[in-house]
Amino acid sequence: MREAAAAEPRPYHHGDLRRALVEAARRILESEGPTALSLRAVAREAGVSPAAPYHHFKDKGELLDAVAHVGWDMLGESMTGAKQRAADLGSLMTEIGVSYVQFSQQHPALYRVMYDCSRDKDELPEGMQDNEDSAYCLVRETFRKVAGPEVPIVDIELATIAAWCAAHGLAEMSTFKQFDSLKIGLGGEEAFLRGVLGHLGMFQAGKPARI
Amino acid sequence: MREAAAAEPRPYHHGDLRRALVEAARRILESEGPTALSLRAVAREAGVSPAAPYHHFKDKGELLDAVAHVGWDMLGESMTGAKQRAADLGSLMTEIGVSYVQFSQQHPALYRVMYDCSRDKDELPEGMQDNEDSAYCLVRETFRKVAGPEVPIVDIELATIAAWCAAHGLAEMSTFKQFDSLKIGLGGEEAFLRGVLGHLGMFQAGKPARI
DNA sequence: CCACCTATCTGAACGGCGTCAAGATCAATC
DNA sequence: GATTGATCTTGACGCCGTTCAGATAGGTGG
């Protein structure tokens, strides 16, 4: 059927399959969810044999890593955008938190892969690693700026972890449809997110130093 | 090899297999983790053929439901115990939160199943449902008692969700070994948990009304 | 221009998985 | 003691991840 998202020129043998496989995987994730994401299905979607991916990835896990990498990039851009859009220091963390959870709602299957594929290797997910510009560092640096120099480093670290836990927990919870009536009562999805985050200390607007 | 945990009298045909299967599943979970938990492996561990479980469970999902049910029971007992042990109102939520996360650390594979098996059906996990005595209701009732009658119901609900998100997020994060050095610096696992929770509003000791 | 080399892809196979249908087995009931 | 119905086994199906021998074809040196 279809072989790639766009009819790009294929520079090589059968095309630049590595990218095509990652895109095929993302297509399957969005249309059929994480349980349908088998290596064979990805190969099928990309129009190659089940063994072809093994010339580009060591195993299924490495393919999922590549997919997760794309996800963390996208999430990082969302969060950076939210940080730049924030009106004042007091709302910085809230805006970043909301953008985090909204990303998880817009790409629930991808979000799942981003955590699952790293748990299998029990490593930290890519976006939580202490790299130069990981999403986690973005949050920590934001806390550092918001908190001021007198707050001990360990408190910055703990606050970052706490915020991440809260956002991740909310991301997982908000997928359950049982909260729908509460969401409606509050005036929509985003009001619900802000309502929950507002009960969580560091996300309270107008209290930048409260860490 | 071994067929059941204890040499109980087998009242029936081949034994009361339903219970034996759930116990076999739990044994596999604890010894080999969630990825090794196949229906066939459970049947093998229980000493029956791969098709035998189908006379007691509709499919693999229903077996996992039964396993998760045990887990939610255990977690509920942990949390109830923590609530009763709490010295004062101000530390109630913290103690419950700590017991929640500690349970997830003591039974990581079981904890995973407790959430995963319900996500597949996209239903709320058993312990989060609005039943009479679910773990979720335990938390909400605690909040209601701690907050006093003047706090609106919707805030109780949001605070409960927020607390649950934070605890669940922390439960997932604390499995990553990358926080080990921070944990050591703080004086151990429990100090880490209390440190993170302490940054999260409703878990701050001595501030029972802050919801 | 040609022959080789190497990366890439296919086809077929292996064992393991979830699930099902048909038959064997055995406790309980009449 | 024969019948019944629940329970368990056997064998099969299609899908999965993975491997390996062989086909293919782009790039390179002659």
Reported for B141-144, long-range contacts at CB under 8 A and 24+ positions apart, including other chains, are B142/B83, B142/B92, B142/B93, B142/B96, B143/B93, B143/B202, B143/B211
Domain with CATH 1.10.357 in chain A: 68-203
- Work out the mean pLDDT of chain B and round it to a whole number: 89
Q: Which residue has the higher pLDDT, B200 or A99?
A: A99
Residue of B nearest to A34 (CA): B120
Give yes or no for CB of B10 within 7 Å of strand C: no
CATH fold label, B64-203:
Tetracycline Repressor; domain 2 (1.10.357)
Confidence category of residue B9, pLDDT binned at 50, 70, 90: very low
Higher-confidence position of B13 and A16: A16
Strand D reaches within 7 A of the B55 CB: yes
pLDDT band, residue A204 (cuts 50/70/90): low
Buried b / exposed e over B91-105, threshold 16 CB at 10 Å, is bbbbbbbbbbbbbbb
Span A32-54, average pLDDT? 97
On average, the pLDDT of chain A sits at 89
Least confident of A20-29, A148-157, A158-167, B47-56: A148-157
Query: Do A155 and B199 lie within an 8 Å CB cutoff?
Result: yes
Asked if B154 lies within 8 A of A204 by C-beta distance, the reply is no
- In chain B, residues under CATH classification 1.10.10 are 17-55
> Is pLDDT larger for residue B176 or for residue B202?
B176
End-to-end CA distance of chain A: 54
pLDDT at B132 over 80: yes
Question: Nearest residue to C11, CA vs C1'?
Answer: A49
Identify the pLDDT of residue A205: 53
Please identify which residue in the block is written with the tokens 């349970």: B103
- Is the predicted pLDDT of residue B122 greater than 60, yes or no? yes
One-character DSSP codes across B37-69: --HHHHHHHHTS-TTGGGGT-SSHHHHHHHHHH
**Can you give the distance from the CA of residue A52 to the C1' of nucleotide C24 in angstroms?**
45
Q: Which residues of B touch A176 (CB under 8 A)?
A: 122-124, 128
A193 Cα to chain B: minimum distance (Å): 10
* A85 Cβ within 7 A of any nucleic strand D atom: no
Q: Are B134 and B64 in contact (CB under 8 A)?
A: no
The C-alpha atoms of residue A27 and residue A31 are separated, in whole angstroms, by 6
Return residue ranges of chain B for CATH 1.10.357. Answer: 64-203
Asked if CATH classification 1.10.10 holds for the domain at A17-55, the reply, yes or no, is yes
Closest chain B residue to A115, measured at CA: B172
* pLDDT at A7 (0 to 100): 38
**What's the pLDDT tens digit per position in B79-100?**
999 999 988 888 899 999 999 9
For B135-173, the pLDDT digits (tens) are: 999 999 999 988 888 999 999 999 999 999 999 999 999
Q: How far apart are CA B94 and CA B205, in angstroms?
A: 7
What confidence tier does A209 reach under pLDDT thresholds 50, 70, 90?
very low
Is the model's pLDDT at B5 over the cut of 50?
no
Contact B173 A161 (CB under 8 A): yes
The rounded radius of gyration (Å) of the Cα atoms in chain B is 20
A165 confidence band (pLDDT: 50, 70, 90): very high
The distance (Å) linking the CA of B45 with the C1' of C25 is 22
Q: Does pLDDT of A5 surpass 80?
A: no
Q: What is the pLDDT, as a whole number, of residue A147? A: 86
The CA distance from B96 to B21, in Å, is: 31
Q: Provide residues of A within 8 Å CB-CB of chain B.
A: 35, 115, 119-120, 122-124, 128-130, 154-155, 157-159, 161-170, 172-173, 175-179, 182, 185-186, 195-202, 204, 211
Q: How much is the pLDDT for B211?
A: 52
d(CA A153, CA A116): 30
**Residue B14 scores a pLDDT above 70:** no
The spacing between the Cα labelled CA in B49 and the C1' in D8, in angstroms, equals: 8
| Interface with B, mutate which of A124, A176, A199, A203 (most B CBs under 10 A) | A199
pLDDT classification of B8: cutoffs 50, 70, 90 = very low
Q: How confident is the model at residue A172 (pLDDT cuts 50, 70, 90)?
A: very high
pLDDT category at B3 given cuts 50, 70, 90 is very low
Can you give the pLDDT at residue B204? Answer: 63
What is A68-203's CATH topology? Tetracycline Repressor; domain 2 (1.10.357)
A8 has pLDDT over 60? no
- Axis crossing angle, helix B89-106 with helix B60-85, rounded to the nearest 10: 140
